[in-house]
Amino acid sequence: MEERELIPKVFRTEYRKIVAVLCYLFGIEHIEIAEDIVSDTFLAATELWSIKGLPENPTAWLYTVAKNKTKNYLKRNSFFEQKLSADIKYLTQKTEEIEIDLSGKNIADSQLAMIFTVCNPAISSEAQVALALNLLCGFGIQEIADAFLTNKEVIYKRINRAKEKLKEANIKIEQPTVSEINNRLDSVLTTIYLLFSEGYYSTGRRPESQNTILRKDLCEEAKRLCYLLIENASTNKPSVNALFALMSFHSSRFDARTNDDGETILYEEQDETLWNQELIELGTHFLNLASTGNIVSKYHLEAGIAYWHTQKQDSSEKWENILQLYNALLILEYSPIAALNRTFALAKTNGKKEAIIEAEKLHLADYHFYYSLLGNLYTGIDNKKALEHFQTALNLAHSSADKATISKNIDRLLN
C-alpha cells in the first residue's frame, strides 16, 4: 500500500481505538478531552511525518505519543488526575500513575463499552449512527455530512447534542452487564444495521449518486462493529451472527448493483460473476452459527432472504423460500417496505396478477419504488397501466440514477 493511502487508513483505524480507550478511561463527561488529546497526537504525526516520512511502526509511534500527551495533560491538571484516580481502574503498583493501556484486549473492551454507550436510548437512532461513525469508526464531521448528504454544521450539532444528552443522563462508559446486554443488544444491533443501510441502500434514496468508496467504508465499519460483538463471549448471540451473515450476503452483491454511471441494476439483470463468493461463503458460515437457541430474530429471516438472493438458480424452490421468509418476517415485525418486497417473490411463485392485487393494497403513495414495481408487474399484462405507473415513479424519483433506470423501462414499453 502506498504511503498516501496508508496514512489515512492508519489515522482512521488508530484514531477510533485511542479515542475509545481514553473515553473509557476518562468517562463520558470528559469525552472532549479524550478527543482533543487524540487530535493533538494525529496533528503531531501529520506535521512530523510530512517532513521525515513514516516511522518504521506508525501504530506504535501513535500509541507512544498518545500515552505521553495523556500523561502530560494529567500532570498539568492535577485536580482532574485526582478526580480520575478516585475510582479509576488503571493504577500501576509502583508509581500509582494512571496507566494508558493500549493493549489489544483493552482496546476491544473499550470499544465494546463504547458501543453500548453510544447506542443508548437516551439519544435518537439518527444521533446514535452519527456518534458511532465519529467515535467508533473514526469518520470526520465532513465525511459523516457527506454520508448523510447534509452540511457539517448539521452533523456537528447532532453529535454535540447527543454527547450532552449522554452527559445529562449520567451514562457510564463501562462493560455491559448480562442484564444490560439482554436489554440493549437490540438497540446496538439496530444502530449497526442502520449504519450498514446508510452505505448499502443510499444509492436508491439519495438525490445524487454516492461516493462508492465512502459507501463501502460505511458497510465495512458496520461489519467490523458487529464482529466486535461476535468476538466477545458475552455478546456473541445468535442474532449478532445472523446480522453479520445478513451484511455479508448483501456485501457480496455490492459491485453488481450499479453500473459505471451509478445507475441501479435490477436484481434480475445483475452480472452474477461480480458476486463475491468468499463473502457468500462467510455469510453462510455465520448463518449456520446463528441457528442455535430457540429465538428467531428479524436478522435471521432477513439473512435467509439475502442468502437465497445469492443463489444463482432461478428456481421455484428459491422463490418459494424467499416468499415464506417474507411471510414470517411480516408476522414478526411488519414493515410496508418488506411487504412491498414480498410482492416481487409472490409474482415469481404465484404470478403477476396475484402480486398486483397484494401490491395495490399497500397504497404507498409518494414512494417511487412502489410505482416502479407496479410498472414492472403490469408490463405484459396491461402496458398502458405499466406506462402510467412508470411515469408516476419518474415524477417522484429524486436521484439521477433512479430516473435513468425508470426511463429505460419507459423506453422499452414505447419501442
Question: pLDDT at position 316, please?
Answer: 87
- Average pLDDT in the 273-289 region? 97
Do residues 93 and 177 share a domain? no
DSSP-assigned beta bridge partners for residue 336: none
- 3-state DSSP call for residue 91? strand
Tens of pLDDT, residue by residue over 189-229, are 999 998 898 888 764 444 444 456 658 888 999 999 999 99
Decide if 222 is inside a domain: yes
- Based on the number of CB atoms within 10 Å of its own CB, is 190 exposed (0-12), middle (13-18) or buried (19 or more)? middle
d(CA 30, CA 35): 9
Decide if 276 is inside a domain: yes
From 106-110, 121-125, 381-385, the region with the lowest mean pLDDT: 121-125
Decide if 397 is inside a domain: no
Do residues 200 and 72 share a domain? no
Query: How many structural domains compose the chain?
Result: 2
Q: Give the domain-ending residue among 273, 291, 309.
A: 291
pLDDT higher than 80, residue 414: yes
Q: What share of the chain is helix, strand, coil (3-state, %, to 5)?
A: 75, 0, 25
Do residues 195 and 117 share a domain? yes
Decide if 255 is inside a domain: yes
The DSSP annotation for 249-295 comes to HHHHTGGGSB-TTSPBPPGGGS-GGGS-HHHHHHHHHHHHHT--SS-
- Average pLDDT in the 58-83 region? 83
Name the pLDDT band for 93 (thresholds 50, 70, 90): very low
pLDDT higher than 70, residue 56: yes
Decide if 274 is inside a domain: yes
Do residues 68 and 158 share a domain? no
Q: Give the domain-ending residue among 234, 265, 291.
A: 291
Do residues 85 and 141 share a domain? no
User: 119-133 b/e with 16+ CB inside 10 Å = b?
Assistant: bbeebeeebbbbbbb
Do residues 188 and 54 share a domain? no
Question: pLDDT at position 143, please?
Answer: 84
Decide if 324 is inside a domain: no
Domain region containing 19: 1-101
Question: pLDDT at position 98, please?
Answer: 64
Do residues 81 and 124 share a domain? no
C-alpha cell at 378: 403490469
- Crossing angle of helices 368-378 and 400-414, in 10° steps, is 20
pLDDT higher than 80, residue 261: no
Do residues 72 and 1 share a domain? yes
Do residues 135 and 279 share a domain? yes
- Average pLDDT in the 229-253 region? 97
- Average pLDDT in the 332-357 region? 96
Question: pLDDT at position 117, please?
Answer: 93
Do residues 9 and 158 share a domain? no
Q: Give the domain-ending residue among 291, 314, 336.
A: 291
Share of the chain above pLDDT 70, in %: 90
Amino acid at 123: I
Decide if 206 is inside a domain: yes
From 31-45, 338-352, 392-406, the region with the lowest mean pLDDT: 392-406
pLDDT higher than 60, residue 52: yes
Name the pLDDT band for 252 (thresholds 50, 70, 90): very high
Average model confidence (pLDDT) for the chain?
A: 88
C-alpha cell at 278: 468468499
Do residues 263 and 194 share a domain? yes
d(CA 70, CA 216): 33
- Based on the number of CB atoms within 10 Å of its own CB, is 234 exposed (0-12), middle (13-18) or buried (19 or more)? middle
Decide if 268 is inside a domain: yes
Do residues 118 and 238 share a domain? yes
